[in-house]
Amino acid sequence: MIIVVCGPTGVGKTKLSVELAKRYNGIVINSDAMQVYKKMDIATAKIKEEEKENIPHYLFDICELEDVYSIYDYQKDARKIINENKEKTIIMVGGSGLYQKAALYDYKLDDNEDNNSSFDEYTNDELYEMLLKKDPKTDIHKNNRKRVIRALNKSDISHDKSELLYKDVHFIGLTTNRDNLYNIINKRVDKMVEEGLIDEAKYFYDQNVKCKALDTVIGYKELFKHFNNEISIEEALELIKKNSRHYAKRQYTWFNHQVPTKWVETNYEDFSKTVEEVIDLIEKEKNN
C-alpha cells in the first residue's frame, strides 16, 4: 500500500506521515523538491531527527546545494525505494505534487527532462505567446519573465493523463480553513526565525552560493534582498509570509486538479483524531 500525504504548507503533513508509518509499520519517502538538499533545513521545514521516531526516512538530504536534482532523478530514486520495499507500507509525504505524480504514474521521462533553456533571445511578448500555447489558462503575467521561463521549462507531466503504476494508492490531503491556514503560516514563519532562519540564510549568502535550489526556496530569496539592502528585515519577513500564503493557494489548486485527493480537516486541538479519521478513510477505500 502507498499513502500519499499531501496538501499545503503548514497543515501537519510531516506529523501525519510519522503516525501512519508507526501504525502501518511503514517507511517514509520525501516528496518535497527542496528537502532533498543538505543544509536547507529551517526554510524547508525539514523533519528533525528526533521527530522521525526511528521510522526509516528516504530521499532527505541526498544532494549538495550545487547538484541539479531533476524530476527524472526523483522518479528513478523513488521507484527504486518503492520496489525494494514492496512488503512495507510506503508513506510519501511532501508538498511537491509533481514529484509524486512522476513517481507513481506511468510517465516516460529521460535524463534530459530538466535541461532548462534560458530563452535569452526572446522578448517578453514572444515568451508569453509560447507559454499560452503550452498553458492557455496560465495566470502568470507576461512581464514576469522569470516565472514565464520557469513555466516553459517545466515538464508537461502535470497535464498528462497516464495511469497509476501501483495498486492500492491513497492520496490523503490535510486541510484547514483559509483564515486558520494563513494564521498558521504566519506563526510558522515567526517560529522559523526563532529557530535560526535568518542565520541559515545568511550562511548561504556569505558563502556566495549560486544555485537553482537557493533561488527557489521561500525564505532565502526574500532575506537575500534584505542582505542586499534592498528591503528592511520587517519587509523581508512579511514577504516570506505573503509568498508562503500564495504558495499554499497554488498547492490547493494543484492537488485538487491533478490527483484524486481525499481531504481531511486537521484537528489542531487533538491531532490523534485526525490520524484516526485518515486511517478510517484509508480502510474504507481499501474495502471498496
Task: Tell me which of 94 and 143 has the higher pLDDT.
Answer: 94
Helix (H) or strand (E) holding 272: helix 271-287
pLDDT at 135: 80
Please compute the mean of the pLDDT values over residues 184-213 and round it to a whole number: 93
Specify whether the CB–CB gap between 60 and 36 falls below 8 A. yes
Specify whether the CB–CB gap between 40 and 60 falls below 8 A. no
Classify 241 as helix, strand or coil: helix
Q: Is the pLDDT of residue 230 over 70?
A: yes
What does pLDDT average to over the chain? 89
Query: What pLDDT band is residue 109 in, cutting at 50, 70 and 90?
Result: low
Question: How far apart, in Å, are the Cα atoms of 182 and each of 50, 175, 232, 234?
Answer: 27, 12, 22, 18
The per-residue pLDDT for range 147-161, each reduced to its tens digit, is 887 777 765 555 455
Query: What pLDDT band is residue 116 in, cutting at 50, 70 and 90?
Result: very low
Please compute the mean of the pLDDT values over residues 188-217 and round it to a whole number: 91
Can you give the pTM of this predicted structure?
Answer: 0.82
Query: What pLDDT band is residue 187 in, cutting at 50, 70 and 90?
Result: very high
Domains within the chain, CATH numbers bracketed: 2-114+169-287 (3.40.50.300), 115-154 (no CATH)
246-282 exposure pattern, b = at least 16 Cβ within 10 A, e = fewer: eebeebbebbeebbebeebebeeeeeeebbeebbeeb
Query: What pLDDT band is residue 115 in, cutting at 50, 70 and 90?
Result: very low
The region of weakest confidence among 117-121, 135-139, 195-199 is 117-121
Classify 263 as helix, strand or coil: strand
pLDDT at 49: 94
Cell of 186: 504566519
The region of weakest confidence among 42-56, 114-128, 157-171 is 114-128
Q: Is the pLDDT of residue 173 over 90?
A: yes
